Each structure stands twice: as structure tokens, then as C-alpha cells.
Amino acid sequence: MWQHFAYDAVANRTKCIIQSSDGKPCNTTLTGKNPTNMKAHLARMHKETYDVCIQKDVTLREEKKVKAMRTVVPDSATQTQTIASMFRKPSAAYPSMSNEQLAREQDLTDWFVETGLPYRIVDGHAFRKIFKRMDPKFTVPGKSVMFISRLMIFALT
């Protein structure tokens, strides 16, 4: 869009330099260098140029989206976990009924059954902090959920 305007820093004015069909420049001056005002001028006075500028903006945005999509981290199944990746903030928690969440809850329940430790530990700040560092997406269940899981294990055995 700037190729259609000339900015004068001393006067703090922007001048339209688009030439009309008869070869004369528009010479409309705008205060400052606000792109919104320039777009509004193009939309009112130079519809064809405005349409080209808008199309360029759309194309640039689409190219940025495509580029951003190419830089997305590959699927977690193909990644090797590093210590640094363990300490990154999660983008989201596992869904409550997802296989990942349920498998981790089951492992935690099995650990409590094997060790005989009290379930109230899961409500402690330090315990939750450790699990958040190990797997930030895992939501540690409360002691009542852990107790119900244990009852279900014993009911099935």
C-alpha cells in the first residue's frame, strides 16, 4: 500500500501519488501515516487500486498461515522426549475421558495400591507439582476419584 503514498516526516503528512487516467496525480494529503486512513482513501477514490491492495493483504495472510502450519511441531508419537520438553508449559490438558488421561489415572491408582500410601497425598500441593512437571497435560485426580478407582479394581478382581 505504501507504494501509492509518499510520507513527509517534517509536515507529518501522507500524499497519495496515484495517477488518474489523464496522468495527473491525486495529491490528496492525509494527516500522519495511518494505514487505516490510507485504505479508506483508496476505497473511496481509487477502487481498483484498493481491490489489488486488499487482495495482496489476503494473499500475504494466507502465506503466513501456510508457513506457520509448516513450522508446527510434528506429532508427539514421532518425537523423542527431552528433559527440556518435560518442563515446557502445556498447551492444554488431556480430555477427562481420553485414553491418555485414563491410563495415567490407572497407573497412579496401581501405584497407590502397591505402595499402600494414603490417597490424601494426591491433594497435596507438592505431589501435584511433581506430576505437573513430569506430564503437564495430566490432571491429577482428587483422593475421592482415586478411592473409587481402587474400589473398582477390587470389584473386578
Q: What is the pTM of this model?
A: 0.41
Please give the residue that has the higher pLDDT: either 85 or 101. 101
Distance CA 19, CA 37 (A): 19
Per cent of the chain over pLDDT 70 is 80
Per-residue pLDDT reduced to its tens digit, 16-27: 998 888 888 898
Per DSSP, which regions of 3-118 are E strands? 5-8, 13-16, 29-31
Distance CA 26, CA 48 (A): 14
pLDDT band, residue 119 (cuts 50/70/90): confident
